[in-house]
């Protein structure tokens, strides 16, 4: 799931990355009121099961006006022990249980504390399947509707205040909300097949899990009945219904039907929002060597949904994700790739207990970043890694816990943006770098194949990776997954002229009092030299103590020395700046745009005017700078000079294919004396019916600053 709320149930990765910015060094030890410490945190073990549910069949008749429903659910289950004297299902207190049957015979039942206890006429036999039928009502609750909220059923009604809204109903199950609309075994450590037969008003559509069956109409009652059947097992929290007045656009990938589902009247946004789904499916399937497993994939955009939810074969998304082509290149891809990745990590293999939810969410976060790398390039991937790192640092100021843990305050608390999403995603980035792409993705494919349709824990992942690649990974998982925190590194360097050596000094300064380890880390030092071939020499080393000195030969003193220049590690640095003498070389030659931008901000702080030497450096760098972020920062710094000699530089950047640079150039031109040529260039952008909306907005603002009266017509 990728909710849009601020932690603990976090917003999508990309958005929070921007909020996090360049986080300051957090205080992550001895945190007061850490909810992951006793007494607020308690031990959670995998739920004990009395039976295995093989299939769930639901007949669900919806009364949309009353926000209510009548249901008959049959859980076909097999006891795991002889002599089972009662069957306990999860059933919300909002439900009214009308009758229960076992194999067609009436059975006594009690319903209390969200548990439905059904008494068979005789003790049940291990392994012998029985059909447990429950007839119930889900009463409405006035205009707010039934069990509305984060989990359960949510109703949308047209209203004068929201004329764009059409009638809808959607469900939300994670973590344990589906038992508020269907009695079931509502925990992730069992999987079953499922079928839903849903009757709704005749002008509604219904999207469920699995394959669509025949739709029938009752002309007298003005209803239609939709059938969806999933023949592959899945955890019940992934059961889903989305119903309402919907527009559906269809596509296919490798013979698999794709449904792009949006509210009525918004069909023109379906393709521009979801049209790269076939590319995502190919990219993930090919990378993992495991084809998308389900019989169809639907993406349903609905009103008032807070983010995205990976219901098996039928993701639910907030309608805010919809966009047209002028919003840029697939602006919803961060959200849609995250939810699609869950169809492998979370749906095909599912954490058996919420303390291991990182197996779902961290992987979806990583594959979201991985797809962004494929779609937009390494700069975007690196920015996502950095943003997730900063999101973790922000979170760790108030919360500290291992990724995989049995000690936590509640199921929902495990959906911690900073840890489960952000930190976990970066840890998988580190594992990718440590193992290498070939072993990493091949190992993940093996993990998926041997555990397909099963509940898993972290040890299943470790075993599969080691089994497939032969790499020993216990130490990695012990310090990064089973322990809290990250390394905090104090780094400095000098040059020993006599011995012709670079001397690097690294200290680990993290507080280890709360279980944070002293890390064993592979380190890379980067030696930068002005004008030399390749410009950077990489030196590999290993850090294993709290205070360590490293020496490496260097015939001449480097212009700059960097630690972890490729940003392969999740870490915090006590010193986040470079020495002044290092800045020009770092700006020109650092391999990561993140360091080039940091050096640029240090060279020319916000509001400062660059001197003549800096201007020459920046204009030279701009000619070959591939990064949109760094390029736009340089243009912004130069714009403050208001120099006529830079006009042609800014005009040239209007032709850039990188949107950030174009926006910076538009702003820069508006700060120079007005010319007819520039005014015409910006008017062409402002009145275009194909330009990116952000460019139009920037051009309109610029025209207002340049000549309000003369541009009033646009």
For residue 8, pLDDT beyond 70: no
Q: Which of 576-580, 606-610, 629-633 has the lowest mean pLDDT?
A: 606-610
Q: At what angle do helices 277-288 and 437-450 cross, to 10 degrees?
A: 90
CA dist 490 to 73, 386, 476, 548, Å? 60, 19, 22, 10
Q: Which of 18-27, 130-139, 169-178, 195-204 has the lowest mean pLDDT?
A: 18-27
Share of the chain above pLDDT 70, in %: 94
Average pLDDT, the chain: 93
pLDDT at 33: 81
365-377 pLDDT tens trace: 999 999 999 999 9
For residue 136, pLDDT beyond 70: yes
pLDDT at 418: 97
287-305 pLDDT tens trace: 999 999 999 999 999 999 9
For residue 203, pLDDT beyond 70: yes
621-643 pLDDT tens trace: 999 999 999 999 999 999 989 99
Spatial distance between the Cα atoms of 46 and 352, rounded to a whole number of angstroms: 7
503-555 pLDDT tens trace: 999 999 999 999 999 999 999 999 999 875 568 999 999 999 999 999 999 99
The contacts of residue 135 (CB under 8 Å, 6+ apart) are 71, 72, 97, 98, 99, 100
For residue 2, pLDDT beyond 80: no
pLDDT at 25: 41
Please answer whether residues 670 and 702 qualify as being in contact, where contact means their C-beta atoms are separated by less than 8 angstroms. yes
pLDDT band at 148 (very low <50, low <70, confident <90, very high): very low
Share of the chain above pLDDT 90, in %: 90
Q: What is the CA 63 to chain-centroid distance, rounded?
A: 35
The contacts of residue 534 (CB under 8 Å, 6+ apart) are none
For residue 32, pLDDT beyond 50: yes
pLDDT at 567: 97
Spatial distance between the Cα atoms of 578 and 465, rounded to a whole number of angstroms: 38
pLDDT band at 44 (very low <50, low <70, confident <90, very high): very high
For residue 144, pLDDT beyond 50: no
Spatial distance between the Cα atoms of 90 and 113, rounded to a whole number of angstroms: 9
pLDDT at 227: 99
SS (H, E, C) 256-278: EEEEEEEECCCHHHHHHHHCCHH
Spatial distance between the Cα atoms of 194 and 77, rounded to a whole number of angstroms: 12
pLDDT at 164: 87
pLDDT at 16: 33
218-269 pLDDT tens trace: 999 999 999 999 999 999 999 999 999 999 999 999 999 999 999 999 999 9
pLDDT at 530: 86
pLDDT at 606: 79
pTM above 0.85, yes or no: yes
The contacts of residue 425 (CB under 8 Å, 6+ apart) are 13, 362, 365, 366, 368, 369, 384, 385, 388
For residue 28, pLDDT beyond 70: no
Strand runs labelled E in 472-627 = 488-496, 501-508, 521-528, 536-543, 547-553, 560-563, 572-573
68 has which bridge partners? 63
How many other C-beta atoms lie within 10 A of the C-beta of residue 458? Answer: 19
pLDDT at 231: 98
446-489 pLDDT tens trace: 999 999 999 999 999 999 999 999 999 999 999 999 999 999 99
pLDDT at 490: 98
Q: What angle do CA 411, 389, 461 make, to 5 degrees?
A: 55
For residue 21, pLDDT beyond 90: no
For residue 5, pLDDT beyond 80: no
């Amino acid at each position: 799931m990728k909710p849009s709320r601020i932690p603990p149930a976090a917003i999508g990765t990309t958005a929070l990355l921007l909020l996090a910015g360049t986080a300051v060094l957090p205080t992550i030890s001895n945190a007061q009121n850490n909810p992951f410490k006793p007494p607020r945190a308690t031990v959670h073990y995998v739920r004990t099961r009395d039976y295995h549910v093989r299939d769930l069949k639901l007949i669900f008749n919806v009364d949309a006006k009353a926000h209510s429903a009548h249901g008959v659910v049959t859980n076909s289950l097999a006891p795991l022990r002889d002599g089972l004297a009662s069957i306990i299902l999860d059933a919300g207190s909002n439900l009214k249980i009308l009758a229960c049957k076992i194999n067609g015979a009436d059975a006594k039942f009690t319903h209390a504390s969200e548990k439905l206890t059904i008494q068979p006429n005789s003790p049940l036999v291990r392994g012998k399947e029985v059909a447990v039928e429950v007839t119930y009502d889900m009463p409405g609750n006035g205009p707010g509707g039934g069990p509305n909220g984060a989990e359960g059923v949510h109703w949308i009604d047209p209203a004068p205040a929201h004329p764009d809204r059409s009638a809808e109903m959607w469900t939300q199950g994670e973590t344990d909300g589906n038992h508020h609309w269907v009695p079931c075994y509502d925990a992730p450590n069992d999987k079953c097949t499922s079928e839903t037969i849903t009757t709704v008003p005749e002008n509604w559509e219904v999207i469920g899990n699995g394959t669509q069956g025949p739709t029938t109409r009752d002309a007298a009652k003005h209803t239609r009945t939709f059938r969806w059947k999933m023949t592959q097992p899945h955890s019940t929290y992934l059961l889903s219904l989305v119903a309402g007045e919907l527009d559906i656009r269809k596509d296919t990938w490798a013979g698999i039907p794709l449904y792009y589902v949006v509210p009525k009247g918004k069909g023109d946004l379906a393709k521009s929002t979801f049209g790269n789904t076939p590319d995502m499916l190919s990219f993930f399937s090919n990378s993992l060597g495991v084809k998308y497993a389900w019989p169809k994939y639907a993406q349903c955009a609905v009103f008032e949904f807070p983010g995205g939810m990976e219901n098996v074969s039928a993701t639910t998304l907030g309608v805010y994700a919809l966009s047209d082509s002028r919003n840029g290149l697939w602006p919803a891809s961060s959200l849609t790739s995250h939810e699609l990745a869950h169809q492998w990590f979370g749906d095909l293999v599912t954490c058996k207990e919420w303390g291991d939810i990182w197996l779902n969410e961290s992987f979806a976060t990583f594959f979201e970043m991985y797809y962004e790398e494929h779609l937009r390039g390494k700069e975007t991937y690196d920015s996502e890694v950095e943003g997730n790192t900063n999101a973790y640092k922000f979170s760790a100021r108030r919360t500290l816990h291992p990724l995989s843990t049995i000690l936590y305050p509640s199921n929902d608390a495990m959906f911690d943006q900073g840890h489960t999403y952000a930190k976990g995603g970066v840890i998988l980035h580190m594992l990718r770098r440590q193992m290498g792409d070939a072993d990493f993705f091949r190992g993940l494919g093996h993990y998926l194949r041997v555990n397909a349709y099963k509940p898993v824990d972290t040890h299943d992942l470790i075993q599969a990776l080691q089994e497939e690649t032969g790499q020993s990974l216990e130490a990695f998982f012990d310090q990064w997954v089973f322990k809290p925190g990250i390394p905090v590194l104090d780094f400095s360097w000098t040059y020993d002229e006599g011995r012709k050596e670079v001397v690097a000094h690294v200290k680990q300064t993290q507080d280890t009092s709360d279980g944070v380890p002293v890390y064993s880390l592979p380190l890379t030092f980067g030696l930068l030299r002005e004008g030399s071939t390749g410009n950077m020499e990489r030196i590999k080393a290993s850090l294993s103590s709290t205070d360590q000195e490293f020496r490496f030969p260097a015939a001449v003193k480097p212009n700059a020395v960097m630690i972890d220049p490729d940003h392969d590690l999740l870490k915090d640095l006590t010193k986040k700046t470079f020495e002044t003498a290092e800045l020009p070389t770092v700006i020109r030659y650092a391999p990561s745009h993140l360091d080039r931008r940091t050096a640029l901000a240090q060279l020319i702080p916000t509001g400062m005017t660059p001197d003549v030497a800096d201007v020459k450096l920046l204009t030279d760098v701009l000619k070959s700078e591939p990064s949109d972020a760094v390029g736009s920062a340089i243009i912004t710094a130069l714009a403050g000079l208001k120099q006529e000699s830079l006009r042609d530089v800014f005009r040239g950047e209007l032709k850039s294919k990188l949107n950030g640079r174009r926006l910076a150039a538009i702003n820069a031109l508006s700060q120079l004396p007005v010319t007819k040529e520039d005014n015409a260039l910006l008017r062409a952008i402002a009145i275009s019916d194909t330009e990116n909306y952000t460019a139009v907005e920037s051009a309109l603002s610029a025209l207002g600053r340049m000549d309000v009266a003369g541009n009033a017509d646009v």
